[in-house]
Amino acid sequence: MKKLTLLTAALLSASVFVTNAQEAPPYENWVGGFVQYYSADASKIEPIGGLDDGEGFGAELGFRFDPSWAVRFEIGRVLIDSDPDNRGALADDGTQLGADVMYFLENDAAYLFGGLREQSISESYRMASLGIGKHWEIDENFRLISEVATYYDFGQAHNEFSVKLGLAYIFGKNDQPAPRPDTDGDGVYDAVDRCPTTPAGTTVDATGCNVDLDGDGVLNAQDMCPTTPSGVEVDVNGCEIKDSDNDGVLDEDDSCPNTAAGVQVNAKGCAVDLDTDNDGVLDSKDSCLGTPMTDKVDASGCSIFEQKEVSVALDILFDNNSSVVNNPDSAQINEFVAFMQRYPNTSAVIEGHTSSLGQAEYNQFLSEKRAKSVRAVLIDTYGIDADRLTAVGYGETRLKDTSNTREAHRINRRIEVSVTATVETKATR
């Protein structure tokens, strides 16, 4: 057991060394032979037990189908000594068949494997295998095999160990090197990238970190002006700090960027005694520089707003004894709809009327029907909210023309709607 521990430690140390010394080779298939040191469980063979350490030899065939994964098949012979402390023990030998799945670490630093073994030593034993190994490159065609493994017997719970050394011949070599990850896509592999989350499109140095191409002290990822000339003073965004009119106020804060030389300016870069927007309020007291010439302003130079009522009316005439809206897409209806949409807080009462012809009771019914027809057009055709529209019929009680003429009757067969809204508008000079 002490020998096994030393060999295992040596293999792991060598794997780490080679990880740092070479890049990943192309993945490949192999056939090879090996010898091994084998430590059998002392309780074998039942019921006497007494097997000890021994040797073995055999051959293996491996197929590596991508940079990380491979399968291997193994056939071997084990020659086991007897335990000198067990007088009834006998030495024995037998055959061993195996199959493993292998996972190769990055840059082929080592590989891990696990699989099954079928062993025949007087009796048959079915075991699980688990281990670590490495293929050491000798030249283009040959590899040195080194490996440590442990075995567990499913039937009798035996635990056994082995250390293998072998020589493999490479065939079916894939010339494509194992890919090296570059998570942020900056062209610097993760293994040497000191800034592995660099934003896409950022120029980086050999360590994968952002650079300052124009030498202004602002890294490219934050530099909004990445070609600033050398020696120019810049702000936190890497852009040149400018004061075009040399008035002491930077352009980004200067409301009057063309102030004449020598003129005293305020914090906004405007002349103290000027009225730039000609609103009657000097810039030094003007809280709203740039007010339109047409606006009335207050003492602070800001536009004055006033309340103003706006309204729209809708008149629709109907045929005799009819509630059908003859022209539902007329310009007058569209104008009314536009007003309702512009002022969504308004509501309207749709008033239906008739002429004096016929019975008053029927005329009342007809006027209500006319009001409801117009309401339906505004809701169904134009999408006005139903809660904003009320239909009322007045029959013949509100005649516009009381004369008993055909024209009077035509005018009286009508719908009337009037809507008023209060809006805030700028007062003009």
Query: Looking at residue 12, which CATH number applies to its domain?
Result: 2.40.160.20
Q: Average pLDDT, stretch 174-196?
A: 71
Bond into 45 cis (ω within 30): yes
In a domain, 302, yes or no: no
At 34, give phi and psi (nearest 5°). -150, 160
- Confidence at 229, pLDDT banded by 50, 70, 90: confident
Of the pLDDT bands very low, low, confident and very high (cuts 50, 70, 90), residue 169 is very high
**What single-letter DSSP state applies at residue 342?**
H
Q: Which of 6-15, 57-66, 167-176, 359-368 has the lowest mean pLDDT?
A: 6-15
Rounded to whole angstroms, the Cα distance separating 369 from 323 reads 6
Higher pLDDT, 62 or 355: 62
Question: Does 426 score more than 80 pLDDT?
Answer: no
Percent of the chain with pLDDT over 90: 21
Domain end residue (candidates: 150, 171, 192): 171
Question: Domain range for residue 53?
Answer: 2-171
Report DSSP state, residue 130.
E
Model pLDDT, residue 21: 34
Same domain, 422 and 312: yes
* Beta-strand relationship, 305-317 and 159-171: unpaired
pLDDT of residue 25 exceeding 60, the answer is: no
Q: Using CA atoms in the order 360, 362, 365, 369, what is the torsion angle rounded to 10 degrees?
A: -120
Residue 237 maps to a domain: no
CA angle (71 as vertex; 65, 77 as ends), nearest 5? 145
Asked whether residue 181 is domain-assigned, the answer is: no
CA distance 284 to 270: 8
Judge whether residue 417 has pLDDT over 70: yes
- Residue 7: pLDDT band (50, 70, 90) is very low
Last residue of a domain, one of 136, 155, 171: 171
3-class DSSP state of 312: strand
Q: Are residues 266 and 406 in the same domain?
A: no
Q: How confident is the model at residue 114 (pLDDT cuts 50, 70, 90)?
A: very high
Partners of 143 in beta bridges? 137, 168
188 part of a folded domain? no
Residue 219 has pLDDT above 90, yes or no: no
Task: Write out the two tokens for 8.
Answer: 């295992």
Number of domains in the chain: 3
Same domain, 281 and 352: no
Secondary structure letter of residue 176 according to DSSP: S
User: Which of 293, 328, 348 is the endpoint of a domain?
Assistant: 293
Q: Can you give the C-alpha Rg of the chain in angstroms?
A: 48
Q: What is the CATH number of the domain that holds 378?
A: 3.30.1330.60
Q: Is 312:336 a contact under the CB 8 Å cutoff?
A: yes
The answer to whether residue 83 is domain-embedded is yes
b or e along 71-80 (b: 16 or more beta carbons within 10 Å of the residue's beta carbon)?
ebebebebeb
Q: Which of 137-146, 285-294, 298-307, 406-415 is predicted least confidently?
A: 298-307
Q: Are residues 11 and 152 in the same domain?
A: yes
Does residue 161 sit in the same domain as residue 287?
no
Please report the pLDDT score of residue 178 as a whole number: 52
Instruction: Report whether 170 contacts 30 (CB < 8 A).
Output: yes
Contact in structure between 158 and 125 (CB atoms under 8 Å): yes
Rounded Cα–Cα distance for residues 97 and 109 (Å): 27
